Amino acid sequence: MNNNQPNRVPQRGASKPNPTRTYSQTKRPTRSKSEIARRVFLAKCILVAGMLLVLGGVVFLLCRSGIFSKKTASPTEVVLSSLTNATVDPSDTTAPAVTETTPTETTLPDDLTGYYVILDPGHGGYDRGCGYPINSSEIEEETVVLKMANFMAEDLRSRGATVYMTRETNDYVSLYNRIAQAHLICLDIAEKEGTLPFSSDRAQELRGKLQKSVDINDDSLSSGGMGIMVGSGVGPDLLDLFKMEHEMDHVIFIALHLNADYDDAAHRGCESYYVTDDSIIAYEKRQMNTADYQSPDFPIRDEYHGRDNEQNAKLAQMMYDYFVGEFPDMRSPMNVPVDSSGWAVIREVGLSGVLFEAGFLSDPTDRAFLGDDTKLQQTAVSLGDAIEAYFKEVSGS
């Protein structure tokens, strides 16, 4: 229908359009100029609105990035200001203003960065430790404590600590091999930090003597595997190492073990042991009548006084408290679950150290706990919390 003409009613009898005419032969409808102008204007408005929206989005993103600020600090400037804790003068217009929308690239150091933990999972190889049932492989100390040590190493490293392990497999590692490893690690740390209290030649001499104990890997007196740790008291070589390690309060030694007592069902729960000068002297006096003390290869030396008795006791107590605080069912019924002792693995090292007995495999409740990997992972976290708290208290932070 032509919009420019009024409607007309066909006259009666008027001739009808030729039915054979094609669409191309008919007159196409046309739009009025006002209608066309209106539609063109509407299209332009839509186009302009779209362009304004896109432009507004671009401007918003540029403003967020800080490109229109008076002076944009380079990423290097922001990082350096953060890492050096530089004081920014508010009147200094050249200093980058830190707001909630300003990205910072500061990475705070981990809590235990600069601290060292030597983990000693007990037993290994043919020395399986205690187990259940007796003489069975259903659950054994050597395997459980290795799992625990691996979980602890993972947790402590996530906190920034440097962790060493005296064994990472179920191969046999002798007692004095472990002690020698701890001394060698301390020599490495002191040398790296430039705190060796003696010459590098002396350090090399001590390394050679300690390496022999590692290579021999045997605890018997006749094998020579005890090395400079043999005898009572402290010899001149061990004395030099003890003096060095006494100053290394950022390094600790943790021996991990399990207990068993098939004769007394009352024994269960965790125990934590540490050494003091008095506990070692008392231990050595009790050993005076043993075969080793009668051997010419076993030197009897003067009593040694120089261990950090207080720090040893503090670390042992904190490990026990944090563990049973997380797992009350693992609390020991003993009157003194945290006690001094004469265990060689912590006796022959000058570092602050603890021998931690996580539970009794002879007790069904403890055994169920120690056989659960999820519980061992949680144990690692609780002991990691204790170690972190200990380091913070020692450092005064």
Please, is 302 exposed, middle or buried when counting C-beta atoms within 10 Å of its C-beta (0-12, 13-18, 19+)? exposed
Q: Which of 203-212, 246-255, 257-266 has the lowest mean pLDDT?
A: 257-266
The pTM is what? 0.74
Q: Which of 9-23, 31-45, 246-260, 263-277 has the lowest mean pLDDT?
A: 9-23
Q: What is the pLDDT, as a whole number, of residue 44?
A: 72
Q: What is the pLDDT, as a whole number, of residue 32?
A: 59
Q: What is the pLDDT, as a whole number, of residue 73?
A: 36
What is the pLDDT confidence band of residue 50, given thresholds at 50, 70 and 90? Answer: confident
Give the pLDDT mean for 193-200: 98
* Distance, CA of 198 to chain centre: 33
pLDDT in tens, 289-299: 999 999 999 99
Angstrom distances, CA of residue 72 to CA of 57, 65, 76, 218, 244: 21, 10, 11, 66, 51
Mean pLDDT score of the chain, rounded to an integer? 83
Does the pLDDT of residue 320 top 60, yes or no? Answer: yes
Closest CA to 344 of 262, 251, 279: 279
Give the pLDDT mean for 85-109: 40
Q: What is the pLDDT, as a whole number, of residue 51?
A: 76
Does the pLDDT of residue 159 top 60, yes or no? Answer: yes
What is the pLDDT confidence band of residue 345, given thresholds at 50, 70 and 90? Answer: very high
Q: What is the pLDDT, as a whole number, of residue 37?
A: 65
**Contact status, residue 159 vs residue 108, Cβ threshold 8 Å:** no
Q: What is the pLDDT, as a whole number, of residue 352?
A: 98
Give the pLDDT mean for 303-330: 97
pLDDT in tens, 98-151: 334 334 444 445 799 999 999 999 999 999 999 999 877 799 999 999 999 999
Three-state SS sequence of the chain: CCCCCCCCCCCCCCCCCCCCCCHHHCCCCCCCHHHHHHHHHHHHHHHHHHHHHHHHHHHHHHHHCCCCCCCCCCHHHHHHHHHCCCCCCCCCCCCCCCCCCCCCCCCCCCCCCCCEEEEEECCECCECCCEECCCCCCEEHHHHHHHHHHHHHHHHHHCCCEEEECCCCCCCCCHHHHHHHHHHHHHHHHHHHCCCCCCHHHHHHHHHHHHHHHHHCCCCHHHCCCHHHCCCCCCHHHHHHHHHHHCCCCEEEEEEEEECCCCCCCCCCCEEEECCHHHHHHHHHHCCCCHHHHCCCCCCCCCCCCCCHHHHHHHHHHHHHHHHHHCHHHCCCCCCCEEECCCHHHHCCCCEEEEEEEEECCCHHHHHHHCCHHHHHHHHHHHHHHHHHHHHHHHCC
Does the pLDDT of residue 11 top 50, yes or no? Answer: no
Q: What are phi and psi of 196, to 5 degrees?
A: -60, 125
For the chain, percent of residues with pLDDT exceeding 70: 75
Q: What is the pLDDT, as a whole number, of residue 53?
A: 73
What is the pLDDT confidence band of residue 59, given thresholds at 50, 70 and 90? Answer: low
Please, is 49 exposed, middle or buried when counting C-beta atoms within 10 Å of its C-beta (0-12, 13-18, 19+)? exposed
Does the pLDDT of residue 187 top 90, yes or no? Answer: yes
